[in-house]
């Protein structure tokens, strides 16, 4: 078998084996109203699970003074968005750390990468699996209002979510035709954070009464997300191709 034949076979196999549900979405992230980061969301899906990574890099004009490169990853089941494992790699100036977590088979307990054990709430989600779960259910009005337990670095929070659309508009924010807006507020329940000094996004999210808002497209993905309130709000806006 010659080189050209091998090349053709390899290209054919690559085309056949490529997962059609793999996708990359580009967002711009702003904080306090200032565009600061470029974020690449990579979604990889197979028959049983979904893995999503969020690669955040500070824009070059400011990275020279205070470089930021944070990567968040979550791996969850396709059926119910229940997390399997998740991690974050944080690089914010002098603050550098990695934290990963994996659930045990019983889904009641798990272990952080530093060796510390934790208890996981029944029906619990991580922040990012929760946002995608709510987006996936956004076009089912009977699902809302709903309360979900959310696990954040050892703490357990409750996300109380409501749904808004063209017939029932949000009092502050508008949604485009066919778009649904989901608002969830977070309330602390119990637990202690395993991280003493956390990254900026987690610090914004893990605050009593904070809220995140999702603008959900008809296909179930969110084109915009806002974490926190102005002026200290982190906003993700999907960029046009």
**Cα angle, residue 58 at apex, residues 53 and 65 outer, rounded to 5°:** 145
* pLDDT mean across residues, the chain: 88
Lowest mean pLDDT among 60-74, 162-176, 179-193: 60-74
Please list the residues that pair with 63 across neighbouring strands: none
CB 141 within 8 A of CB 174: no
- Residue extents of the structural domains in the chain: 20-238
Burial of 105 (0-12, 13-18, 19+ CB in 10 A): exposed
CA-closest candidate to residue 201, choices 112, 104, 109, 95: 95
Stronger pLDDT, 34 or 61, i.e. the higher one = 34
Lowest mean pLDDT among 58-62, 101-105, 125-129, 142-146: 58-62
Report, as an integer, the average pLDDT of 188-200: 95
pTM: 0.86
Collapse the DSSP code of 3 into the 3-class scheme (helix H, G, I; strand E, B; otherwise coil) and give the result. Answer: helix
Helices vs. strands in the chain: H and E counts, helices first: 4, 14
Question: Residue 241: its pLDDT value, please?
Answer: 66
Give the confidence band of 232 by pLDDT, cuts at 50, 70, 90: confident
Q: Please identify which residue in the block is written with the tokens 């979550």.
A: 74
CB 35 within 8 A of CB 27: no
**Cα angle, residue 82 at apex, residues 133 and 195 outer, rounded to 5°:** 95
Collapse the DSSP code of 110 into the 3-class scheme (helix H, G, I; strand E, B; otherwise coil) and give the result. Answer: strand
Percentage helix, strand, coil for the chain under 3-state DSSP, each rounded to 5? 15, 50, 35
Residue 88 backbone dihedrals phi, psi, to 5 degrees: -150, 140
Residue 192 has pLDDT above 80, yes or no: yes
Question: Residue 200: its pLDDT value, please?
Answer: 87
Transcribe 115-170 into DSSP letters.
S-EEE--TT-B-HHHHHHHHHHTTT-GGG-SEEEEEEETTEEEEEEEEEE-SSS--
């Amino acid at each position: 078998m010659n080189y050209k034949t091998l090349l053709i076979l390899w290209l054919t196999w690559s085309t056949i084996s490529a997962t059609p549900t793999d996708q990359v979405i580009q967002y711009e992230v702003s904080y306090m109203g200032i565009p600061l980061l470029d974020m690449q969301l990579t979604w990889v899906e197979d028959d049983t699970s979904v893995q999503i990574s969020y690669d955040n890099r500070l824009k070059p004009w400011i990275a020279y003074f205070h470089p930021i490169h944070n990567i968040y990853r979550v791996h969850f089941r396709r059926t119910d968005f229940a997390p399997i494992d998740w991690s974050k790699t944080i690089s914010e100036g002098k603050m550098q750390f990695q934290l990963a977590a994996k659930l045990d088979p019983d889904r009641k307990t798990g272990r952080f990468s530093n060796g510390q054990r934790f208890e996981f709430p029944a029906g619990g989600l991580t922040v990012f699996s929760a946002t995608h779960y709510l987006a996936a259910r956004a076009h089912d009005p009977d699902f809302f209002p709903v309360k979900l337990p959310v696990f954040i670095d050892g703490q357990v929070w409750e996300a109380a979510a409501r749904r808004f659309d063209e017939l029932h508009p949000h009092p502050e924010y508008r949604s485009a035709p066919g778009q649904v807006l989901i608002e969830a507020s977070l309330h602390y329940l119990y637990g202690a954070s395993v991280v003493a000094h956390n990254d900026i996004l987690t610090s914004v999210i893990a605050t009593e009464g904070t809220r995140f808002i999702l603008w959900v497209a008809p296909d179930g993905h969110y084109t915009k997300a806002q974490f926190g309130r102005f002026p200290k709000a982190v906003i993700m806006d999907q960029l046009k191709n």
